[in-house]
Structures are given as structure tokens and as C-alpha cells.
């Protein structure tokens, strides 16, 4: 049919895609749920895998795939082999999709006590319901790790954070992966705090890297997404199939926003880290602060291991105010520049009180045993002028 002869309502409905010149300078947002074909044979070739193409945005989308390729390239920059990335709707969906893709009922998972509270909850409240047993141990103790694997042969995956949320504990990643490989176990790390700019888990033997790309990779607090990165084609296929069937996919707009954020990742992280070190040193000498958790301090328990695994020490820290929950609340209420928010990794400085927020549903005795006290405050240091951040901290500590 000649489109010039179409009726008014038909012209309203049909796409006008006949643009012959020029390529977009920046990545377009492919806001399309599905994709069309030249003819039925073209459709058959794409559906059967004989020809590359897109089917449905839950399966794959040009905008999302472009960002996935960039994330994989960044994560695998030091490797000879190619990396693969699957984007998901959030960091939590990345964790869940990964675990479900690799484990089944009867399999077991080994992890640490001091995880992000949401991760602990999904392991214990969701995955455990479907026959995946969870073992919580001190992953800093490599003897305990090996003993646990030997005593529980059904453990298939070791999942961990380093640095951990919110106490910034650092694990011997290479030590864990060495034990895992000797026992034919998989390893996965949440590298959200560091990004591949500061820490390259694949260089340390890890099998899977997961992200809440919402945080530092995006950096601007305007989208929610997650990512699973691996360098094994078969594992990529398993993860993709799980993502596709569970519908945990990302969307083109959030992927596009992430793509924009990544462009300034190195600039932002350098400033984040410089500011964080200055603030950690300031807090470390403050009379109202009992303890500072920041691996960049030379008196920190994890300084040596962090120095071997990270190029810089990151922008996350936590500190314990002399007192308890009331003093912590007063501090947070008195600050004016810092923002109280249940996230991290934005360009501005963010505060969170773990005991009443991220770790609210973790039993107090478990929180206390892992240093998540009522007086602990988590700070995601932004890229503002560092003197302004310190002035605001002084304001908060003047209760």
C-alpha cells in the first residue's frame, strides 16, 4: 500500500522510519517492546538463531545490549578472553537471577554474615523456601571456608561482598577463589562498591561479578538496574535463559541512563576516593567518633588486603558515634548538606543508619556481632568540595 494514500487514522498509527542519512551521535533509546521482520523467512532465521536479530525486549534490546557490551569490556579489560553481561531490573534481581541460574533444589550456597541486609533476606526468606540451603560463615577465615566446603559437599556457589556493606570488611578474594577452584565450586562477588575501575575480581579468580548499577556505575541516582558479568559462554547462556524466562530484564531507558553515567565513571570515582580518604582521616581523629570503617586508613584491619586488591579504597565508609541510636539520629538530623537516603553511589554525599534502614530486619544480636551497632552511620561520600562535607559533619557532631 502506498503510505501517501493512507487514511488519517492509519498515518497516526504507522511508524515513519524512512530516514536515509545520518547516524545518531549518542546511543538511542530503543523504546520498543518488539521488533519487525522483512518477511516470514527473516523471522524464522532470527527465532532459530541462524541470523542475529532482536525478537522481544525481554529477550534483548539494542540499547540494553550496547550497555551490556560496555560493562563486559570494562570488567574484562585485563583478560584475553571475551566477557559477557546480562542486565537486569535491579541489583537484587541480578543476585537472584544469578543464583537461580546456577543452583537448584538440593544445592547449597556459602556466604558471609555481614552482607547487605537485602541479600541476606533474599537468601534466607526466598531461596531457602525452594530447597537451596544457605551456610553463613566468617569468610575471612580461610580454614573455616575450606572446612565448611569439606563438611558440606552440596555447596556449589560461594557468594560474597568485598568490601562489605556497611562495615567495609575486605576478604582475601584470591584466597577464597583458590579454595573454591580446588573444590570445584563457583564464586560470585558483589562489586558494587568498587566497580571495575577500583577492583577487578576476574583477575583474582572470581567466576561471576554482580552489580547494582544503580550505584556508582550510574552515579546520578536516576535509574535502577543490575548486571551479571561472566567470561564463560555456557554460563552466560544459563543466566540469559533464566533472565528471559523469569522476566528480570532491564529496560531501555534505565540502560540508557546508565550508559550516560558510565561516561564519567573514572572522573567521578577519582574525586569520590580523594574526598573519602580526607574525611576518613578527619573522622579517625575526632573525639566524638569511636571507630571509622574505611580500608584506606593504615590502622584499619583490612588495609593490607585492600591495598593488594584495589587501586583506590573507594567512597564508602561507616563510622560509629560515641553513644548509641539517639546520638546517631541527632547527628543525621543536624546535617544540612548530606542527604539521608536509602541508597549510595550518587554524586552527592548520602547518609544511612543501617540499624533502622538497610539492616532493620536483621536480628540485633547478629548486627552487633558484625559491627552494625546502633551508633553506626554509613556514608557514601560524594564529589562536593570536601571542606563543605567536613563542615556539615562538624555541624552534625555538634549535638
Question: What residue segments make up the domains of the chain, in order of their start?
Answer: 59-262, 265-397
CATH of domain 265-397: 3.90.1150.10
How much of the chain is helix, strand and coil, in % rounded to 5? 40, 15, 45
Residue 20 catalytic? Answer: no
The yes-or-no verdict on residue 3 having pLDDT over 60 is: no
Return the pLDDT at 247. 98
Distance between CA 318 and CA 376 in Å, rounded?
7
Is there a common fold for 59-262 and 265-397? no
Topology of domain 59-262, CATH: 3.40.640
Residue 216 catalytic? Answer: no
User: Which among 156, 215, 271, 378 is annotated as catalytic?
Assistant: 215
User: Which among 172, 190, 374, 392 is annotated as catalytic?
Assistant: 190
Residue 215 catalytic? Answer: yes
Q: Do the bridges between strand 155-161 and strand 186-190 make them parallel or antiparallel, or are there none, so unpaired?
A: parallel
Distance between CA 330 and CA 323 in Å, rounded?
11
Return the pLDDT at 114. 87
Q: How many CB atoms lie within 10 A of CB 13?
A: 7
List of E strands, 233-374: 289-293, 316-321, 339-340, 350-352
Distance between CA 383 and CA 275 in Å, rounded?
7
The yes-or-no verdict on residue 43 having pLDDT over 80 is: yes
Return the pLDDT at 322. 92
Return the pLDDT at 366. 81
pTM: 0.94
Q: Tell me the average pLDDT of the chain.
A: 94
Residue 9 catalytic? Answer: no
DSSP string, 305-339: HHHHH-SS--SEEEEEESS-HHHHHHHHHH-SSSE
pLDDT tens-digit map of 262-313? 999 999 999 999 999 999 999 999 999 999 999 999 999 999 999 999 999 9
Q: Report the candidate in 137, 220, 221, 211 with the shortest Cα–Cα distance to residue 179.
A: 137
Sign, CA torsion 328/329/330/336:
positive
User: Which among 54, 116, 197, 302 is annotated as catalytic?
Assistant: 116
- Alpha-carbon separation of residue 364 from 120, 150, 326, 368 (angstroms): 14, 31, 16, 6
Amino acid at each position: 500500500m502506498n503510505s501517501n494514500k493512507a487514511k488519517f487514522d492509519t498515518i497516526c498509527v504507522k511508524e515513519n522510519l524512512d530516514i536515509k542519512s545520518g547516524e545518531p551521535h549518542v546511543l538511542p533509546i530503543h523504546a520498543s517492546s518488539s521488533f519487525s521482520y522483512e518477511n516470514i523467512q527473516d523471522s524464522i532465521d532470527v527465532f532459530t538463531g541462524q541470523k542475529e536479530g532482536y525478537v522481544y525486549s525481554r529477550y534483548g534490546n539494542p540499547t540494553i545490549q550496547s550497555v551490556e557490551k560496555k560493562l563486559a569490556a570494562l570488567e574484562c579489560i585485563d583478560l584475553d578472553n571475551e566477557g559477557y553481561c546480562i542486565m537486569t531490573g535491579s541489583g537484587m534481581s541480578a543476585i537472584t537471577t544469578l543464583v537461580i541460574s546456577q543452583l537448584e533444589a538440593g544445592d547449597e550456597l556459602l556466604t558471609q554474615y555481614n552482607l547487605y541486609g537485602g541479600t541476606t533476606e533474599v537468601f534466607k526468606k526466598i531461596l531457602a523456601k525452594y530447597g537451596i540451603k544457605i551456610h553463613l560463615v566468617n569468610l575471612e577465615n580461610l580454614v573455616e571456608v575450606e572446612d565448611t566446603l569439606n563438611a558440606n559437599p552440596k555447596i556449589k556457589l560461594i557468594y560474597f561482598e568485598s568490601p562489605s556493606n556497611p562495615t567495609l570488611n575486605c576478604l582475601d578474594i584470591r584466597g577464597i577463589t583458590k579454595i573454591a577452584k580446588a573444590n570445584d565450586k563457583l564464586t560470585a562477588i558483589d562489586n558494587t562498591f568498587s566497580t571495575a575501575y577500583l577492583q577487578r575480581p576476574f583477575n583474582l579468580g572470581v567466576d561471576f561479578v554482580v552489580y547494582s548499577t544503580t550505584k556508582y556505575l550510574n552515579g546520578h541516582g536516576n535509574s535502577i538496574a543490575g548486571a551479571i558479568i561472566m567470561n564463560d559462554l555456557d554460563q552466560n547462556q544459563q543466566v540469559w535463559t533464566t533472565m528471559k524466562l523469569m522476566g528480570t530484564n532491564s529496560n531501555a531507558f534505565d540502560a540508557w541512563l546508565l550508559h550516560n553515567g558510565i561516561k564519567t565513571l573514572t572522573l567521578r570515582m577519582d574525586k569520590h576516593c580523594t574526598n573519602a580518604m580526607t574525611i576518613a582521616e578527619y573522622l579517625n581523629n575526632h573525639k566524638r567518633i569511636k571507630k571509622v570503617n574505611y580500608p584506606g586508613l593504615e590502622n584499619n584491619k583490612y588495609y593490607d588486603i585492600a591495598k593488594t586488591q584495589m587501586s583506590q579504597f573507594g567512597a564508602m565508609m561507616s563510622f560509629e558515634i560515641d553513644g548509641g541510636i539517639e546520638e546517631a539520629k541527632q547527628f543525621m538530623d543536624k546535617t544540612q548538606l548530606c542527604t539521608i537516603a536509602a541508597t549510595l553511589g550518587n554524586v552527592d554525599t548520602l547518609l544511612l543508619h543501617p540499624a533502622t534502614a538497610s539492616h532493620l530486619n536483621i536480628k540485633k544480636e547478629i548486627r552487633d556481632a558484625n559491627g552494625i551497632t546502633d551508633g553506626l552511620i554509613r556514608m557514601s561520600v560524594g564529589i562536593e568540595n570536601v571542606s563543605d562535607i567536613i563542615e556539615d559533619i562538624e555541624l552534625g557532631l555538634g549535638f
